[in-house]
Amino acid sequence: MSSFSPAALLRNLKPDNFTIALLVTVALATFLPCTGTTAVVFGNITTVAIGALFFLHGAKLSREAVVAGAMHWRLHLLVLASTFVLFPLLGLALRPLALTFLTPDLYMGILFLCALPSTVQSSIAMTAMARGNVPAAICSASASNFIGIFLAPILVGLLVAKGAEGKSSVDAVLSIVMQLLLPFLAGQFLRRWIGRWVDRHKATLKFVDQGSILLVVYTAFSEAVSEGLWHTISVETLVALGLISLLLLALVLGIATFVSRRLGFNKEDEIAIVFCGSKKSLASGVPMAKVLFSTRSLGMVILPLMLFHQIQLMICAVIAQKYARRKDGLDSEKVAA
């Protein structure tokens, strides 16, 4: 197996265009925050954009792709366990370390990201890059996102009892259903008529996805800046947040790899488990945070998610290339138990 060159490693660590857009949005909110009537207008626009975002999620989700991998139930259960059980347990286990270096609101953000579903697009892309089981990855990532619409607010209610605007788990679920699930189901229902058009225009519609997230980030950080965000968070705190996020990701990756091998999954299935079970969705998480948390704490809550998102992309890109360079042999021929 050939080793990585420094140039290849630097290319993997280079932020993508969307990450750069996120940084620009945070800078814009820092120097030109929206306040007063402007903030109300932006808030209303953001609510509509989030509905459109989840409508398109529903319209883009191919039922055929889900059915193609649905029979691999052991793999899917392991991915769901990693996403919705392992992550929250590790988030709670890291509490003493996190609260030593982070503010309570930032730790609340870590617990929130631990409750979120997996990504769809990057999980599938990383699995494909690593020559893994792509149909299973499509099914697992899609199922995680769908289940996460119901399960994430319940987990948030259990993990972050004081953070979600005083809402009960039932209230949080109802809010998610009204603002996120109904548009998603409407998109699924209409897919038979608009699915081909959506598939043909994925590149264009991507701007709706990313624009919705950027709107939420801008309004959230505008409020947070007005509340003194950058006077509360020091450079040392940001570095500590990055290191804790890296530790969380490393633990999940290591445990997912170890368990998938112990349970006898072949290399292609292991790849799908590792990448689908270790990611957290920025596209789902930012809109959910807006629904679940108070405006005052929203900027602090989504900051760990934004940082974790970039870390997971960079680290998993390196791991995916390492998997891709493996020699086909006994690992590929090993049959799952």
Q: Residue length, the chain?
A: 337
Tell me the HSE value of 179 on the side-chain side, using a 13 A CA sphere.
21
Q: Which residue has the higher pLDDT, 301 or 71?
A: 301
**Tell me, what's the pLDDT at 163?**
44
The pair phi, psi for residue 248, each rounded to 5°, is -60, -45
User: By three-state DSSP, how is residue 94 classified?
Assistant: coil
HEC profile of 227-276: CCHHHHCCHHHHHHHHHHHHHHHHHHHHHHHHHHHHCCCCHHHHHHHHHH
**Tell me, what's the pLDDT at 262?**
95
pLDDT digits (tens, 9 = 90+) for 96-153: 999 999 989 899 999 999 999 998 778 888 888 888 888 788 788 878 888 887 888 8
Q: Which residue has the higher pLDDT, 161 or 207?
A: 207
User: By three-state DSSP, how is residue 3 classified?
Assistant: coil
How far apart CA 277 and CA 141 sit, in angstroms, is 8
- pTM value is 0.78
Confidence of residue 17 (pLDDT cuts 50, 70, 90): confident
Average confidence (pLDDT) over 61-80: 73
Q: Which residue has the higher pLDDT, 242 or 72?
A: 242
Average confidence (pLDDT) over 287-309: 84
**Tell me, what's the pLDDT at 333?**
41
Average confidence (pLDDT) over 296-311: 86
**Tell me, what's the pLDDT at 249?**
96
Give me 228's structure tokens: 């003194």
pLDDT over 70 at 334, yes or no? no
pLDDT digits (tens, 9 = 90+) for 208-266: 777 877 887 888 788 777 777 777 788 899 999 999 999 999 999 999 999 999 999 99
Q: Which residue has the tokens 């883009």?
A: 60
Give me 88's structure tokens: 């929250």
pLDDT over 60 at 191, yes or no? yes
pLDDT over 90 at 280, yes or no? yes
Confidence of residue 10 (pLDDT cuts 50, 70, 90): low
In eight-state DSSP terms, residue 133 is -
**Tell me, what's the pLDDT at 166?**
45
How far apart CA 137 and CA 116 sit, in angstroms, is 17
DSSP character string of 42-90: HHHHHHHHHHHHHHHHHHH--HHHHHHHTT-HHHHHHHHHIIIIIHHHH
Contact between 334 and 266 under an 8 Å Cβ cutoff? The reply is yes
Highest mean pLDDT among 35-39, 55-59, 87-91, 203-207: 87-91
Dihedral over alpha carbons 170, 175, 177, 179 (to 10 degrees): 180
Average confidence (pLDDT) over 55-70: 66
Confidence of residue 337 (pLDDT cuts 50, 70, 90): very low
